[in-house]
Amino acid sequence: MVTIEQIKQLREETGISVSECKKALEAGGGDMALAKETLKKWGKDVAARKGGRNAQQGIIDSYIHPNKKIGVMIRLNCESDFVAKSDDFKNLSHELCLQFAAVQSDADSRLVQPWIKDSSKTVKDLIEATIAKLGENIVLGAVERFEV
């Protein structure tokens, strides 16, 4: 039987809704690791379904490294202004800026490169997790990296 404490812990660790956490825990027989994997799989499914939706809202974000030698500016799109203003969306944008400041890449390899904070995940995984959490399509637009 799944306990409220398990649901609460999974919710805090993933940011996914309470009902989805409960379903994942029940599907995994209360096993926390299995529930996380289930949520990850469900998140990829959600991201795939949302992928074709129009993403014309969003933000432009930037990061300048403290040494003032590297800077990044990105455009990150979503479906609604409401999501664009959310902390989760802004946090994703910031993480992407840090990623592209740390790793120089071309447009073809940006999504498949390992995330600098957890090499078991790719940039695409990071975006898909946010899509699953927010329920909207998110598209990485222009990325410009400047270096002196």
- Going from the first residue of the chain to its last (148 residues), give the mean pLDDT of each consecutive group of 10, the final group possibly shorter: 86 79 87 84 69 84 97 96 96 97 92 94 93 90 96
Q: Which two tokens stand for residue 121?
A: 């995940």
CA distance 57 to 77: 5
pLDDT at position 90 is 98
- DSSP bridge partners of 140: 76
CA-CA distances (angstroms) from residue 70 to 64, 90, 93?
A: 6, 20, 17
3-state DSSP helix/strand/coil % of the chain, to nearest 5: 50, 20, 30
Please tell me the pTM assigned to this model.
Answer: 0.74
123 in the same domain as 87? yes
CA distance 121 to 138: 17
CA distance 129 to 131: 5
72 in the same domain as 45? no
Residue 40's SS3 state is helix
pLDDT at position 64 is 97
pLDDT at position 99 is 97
Q: Residue 117's domain spans which residues?
A: 57-147
For the chain, what is the domain count? 2
CA distance 70 to 56: 28
Q: Which two tokens stand for residue 50?
A: 């949302």
Tell me 73's DSSP state: E
94 in the same domain as 137? yes
User: Per this entry, what is the length of the chain?
Assistant: 148
CATH of the domain at 10: 1.10.8.10
pLDDT at position 13 is 81
